[in-house]
Amino acid sequence: MVDHSPLRFHGLDALRGIAMLLGIVLHAALPYMPNVQSVWPPGDESSSQGISAVFWFIHVWRMPVFFILTGFFANLVVSKRSWKRWWGNRLIHIGLPLVVFSPIMSLTLPWIFAYGRSGEFVFFYSNDGQPFHLWFLWHLILFVILSVLFRFSYLFGIGVLQGFGRIGLGIIGIIIHKLKSIGAGILFRSRFPLGFIVISCVVNLPSGGELAGNVAASGLYFLLGYSLYGNPSLFIFLKSHWTYYLLTGVVGFTLYMVLGSNKIMPYLIALDMPATEYLRVVSGPFGVIAVLINIICAVSFSYAFIGLSEKHFGYFNPQLRFISDGAYWIYLIHLPIVTLTTFAMFKLPIPIEMKFSVAIGITSLVCLLTYKLFVRSTLIGVFLNGRRISLDSERPQRRM
């Protein structure tokens, strides 16, 4: 079967780049959130409910949409090229940057956070708590390893089904194949995947809805995106009806905030609570409801923004293409910049909303400028993203 889908989805590329830029907003917001000192120790003396609401809105869908897009593009590469091509690409462009940037994070983040707590510059190298910033990449590497195992298991399973046919028990193979198809349809292929939401809620309970320490939960979103690429009818539906998903997400997020997301979600596990007590609280009625609403919001907003981006930005745009190309670099370097900038302004007698805006502006400018000057047209850019195709060859007519 020939795959006639486009080589690039410009709208999804743009969504990925914008979501990456929003990571700057999240980390600029953390020091100004109420009661944040327990999980982000360098906090400002003042806090803002408005900044907190901005943080929670972005946080509830940003990483889920990343994993969905990662799965989507993984299936694109596998369909256009091969599994080996995807495995090699990920090992080069994720595995090697992990090796290079992990020590850079250990060289910068520990003393920056120490400066935020004490106000004194003391340069030191530490691996304590690392690599918390690069957890997204560690999850992707695990997906590569697991996909290798599952791929060979799948091929072995095909051999088993063929063996059933050879000994006259082909009906068993048909039943197994049908059960797999039905299960995949219920979990991933429906227009509003209730099965996925329920299973994802159960898987997310141990981590309170957070993906950083829960590779099974992030893996479900990856599989959701992988399935979406192979489901063109659903993809077209998202483009036509993205507003319904957006409305569902807004309603769910409103409930999430009314219930008090900061009472349990998502950093409760970081408060030195005994594991048994944490599981008792998070698995109680409020915890289950909070996680369920979190998942509904994540799926709804992700589907809404995927449909919106491809509906209205599914064509070549040089500005959005620049942002999407620079997204990986921004992810890798933004945290030391935004934290140092934010912590340096703690004692300034200006409104925290202004500090928040200045931190976002400075970090965005530094990230984009360094990408333009030192990465985009250099070997570093090839190291991170591979060789760029000429922009002149990527100016197709806008897809309907």
pLDDT digits (tens, 9 = 90+) for 78-121: 999 898 999 999 999 999 999 999 999 999 999 999 898 888 88
Domain boundaries, the chain: 10-394
What is the model's pTM?
A: 0.85
User: Which residues lie closer than 8 Å to 246 by C-beta, 6 or more apart?
Assistant: 300, 301, 304, 308
The string of DSSP codes covering 196-229 is HHHHHHHHHGGGTT-STT-HHHHHHHHHHHHHHH
Q: Given this model, what pLDDT does residue 356 score? A: 95
- Taking the alpha carbons of 302, 215, 200, 30 in that order, is the dihedral positive or negative? negative
> How far is it, in rounded angstroms, from Cα 67 to Cα 222?
5
The identity of residue 269, as a single letter, is I
> How far is it, in rounded angstroms, from Cα 369 to Cα 181?
48
Q: What is the pLDDT of residues 330-369, one digit of tens each?
A: 999 999 999 999 999 988 999 999 999 999 999 999 999 9
Query: Number of C-alpha atoms within 13 angstroms, CB side, residue 277?
Result: 8
Q: Which of helix, strand or coil describes residue 44?
A: coil
Cβ contact 75:230 at 8 Å: yes
Burial of 172 from C-beta contacts in 10 A (0-12 / 13-18 / 19+): middle
pLDDT confidence of 25, banded at 50, 70, 90? very high
Q: Given this model, what pLDDT does residue 244 score? A: 95
Q: Given this model, what pLDDT does residue 52 score? A: 87
Instruction: Tell whether the model's pLDDT for residue 53 goes beyond 50.
Output: yes
Instruction: Tell whether the model's pLDDT for residue 125 goes beyond 50.
Output: yes
Conformational region of residue 386, where left means phi above 0, alpha means psi within -120 to 50, and beta covers everything else: left
pLDDT confidence of 272, banded at 50, 70, 90? very low
Give the tokens for residue 241: 């009806």
Helix 242-259 and helix 49-80, axial crossing angle in degrees, nearest 10: 140
More confident residue, 172 or 15: 15
More confident residue, 177 or 52: 52
**Residue 205 DSSP label:** G
Among the residue ranges 22-26, 56-60, 170-174, 302-306, the one predicted with the least confidence is: 170-174
The count of residues in the chain is 400
